[in-house]
C-alpha cells in the first residue's frame, strides 16, 4: 500500500487487508456462536454503500440460516458528517417480530446507527443488534452497546474496504488515513 490521491486529498496506509480479514473472522466467529444453534433466522441488514464489502466477506463466513437485505442511509458530505440522517434507499424487508443485525462499515458518533435502530424498532423488530467493522470509540456518544465490533480506529478520516471520500476509494483492499501533510 502506497500513498494515494482521491479527488483533492492524499491518503496513506493505515490498516492492512490482513488485519481487516482477521477482524472479520473474529466478528464471524462471535455471530456464529450466537446464532449457530438458534431456530430463529435473523435478517442481516447491510447499510449501503459502505458496508457492502464488509457484509460480502462476512456473509461467506456465517454458518447459520439468514436473510439478507439492504438499506441506504447517509450523513456524510465530503469528509464531515452533516449530522442529518437521510434514508436514501428504503428497507423493503418486513422486520416485524424478527431479529435484525445491522451490518455497518464504521460507527463514529453513533447518530446514524441510533436513528436506524429507532427506525427498526418503530417497524416492530423483535431485537436489533449492531455489527460494525470499525468503531471510533473516542467519539461514540451513546449508551447502547455495539454487539459485534471488528476493530477500533482513531477519530481520523479513513477510506478503503468500503469506506469512501466522495464515492472514491471504496475498492481499496486496505484502509488509508488522511495524510496530514496533504501536499504533492
164 is catalytic: no
- Give the relative orientation of helices 17-35 and 52-59 as an angle to the nearest 10 degrees: 60
162 within 8 A of 53, measured Cβ to Cβ: yes
Query: What pairs with residue 178 in β-bridges?
Result: 11
Residue from 8, 18, 34, 108 carrying the catalytic annotation? 108
Could you give the residue ranges of the DSSP H alpha helices within 36-161?
52-59, 111-122
Grid cell, residue 130, equals 449492531
Give the SS3 label for residue 121.
helix
Question: CA-CA distance, 72 to 137, in Å (whole number)?
Answer: 23
- Catalytic sites, residue numbers: 108
Amino acid at each position: 500500500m502506497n500513498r494515494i490521491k482521491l479527488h483533492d486529498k492524499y491518503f496513506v496506509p493505515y490498516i492492512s487487508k490482513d488485519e481487516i480479514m482477521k477482524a472479520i473472522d473474529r466478528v464471524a466467529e462471535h455471530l456464529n456462536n450466537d446464532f449457530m444453534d438458534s431456530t430463529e433466522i435473523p435478517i442481516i441488514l447491510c447499510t449501503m454503500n459502505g458496508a457492502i464489502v464488509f457484509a460480502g466477506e462476512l456473509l461467506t463466513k456465517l454458518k447459520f440460516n439468514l436473510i439478507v437485505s439492504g438499506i441506504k442511509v447517509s450523513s456524510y458530505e465530503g469528509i464531515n458528517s452533516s449530522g442529518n440522517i437521510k434514508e436514501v434507499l428504503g428497507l423493503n424487508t418486513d422486520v416485524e417480530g424478527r431479529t435484525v443485525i445491522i451490518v455497518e462499515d464504521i460507527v463514529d458518533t453513533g447518530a446514524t446507527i441510533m436513528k436506524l435502530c429507532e427506525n427498526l424498532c418503530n417497524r416492530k423488530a423483535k431485537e436489533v443488534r449492531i455489527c460494525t467493522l470499525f468503531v471510533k470509540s473516542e467519539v461514540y456518544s451513546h449508551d447502547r452497546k455495539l454487539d459485534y465490533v471488528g476493530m477500533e480506529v482513531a477519530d481520523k478520516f479513513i477510506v478503503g474496504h468500503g469506506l469512501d471520500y466522495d464515492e472514491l476509494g471504496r475498492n481499496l483492499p486496505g484502509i488509508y488515513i488522511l495524510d496530514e501533510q496533504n501536499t504533492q
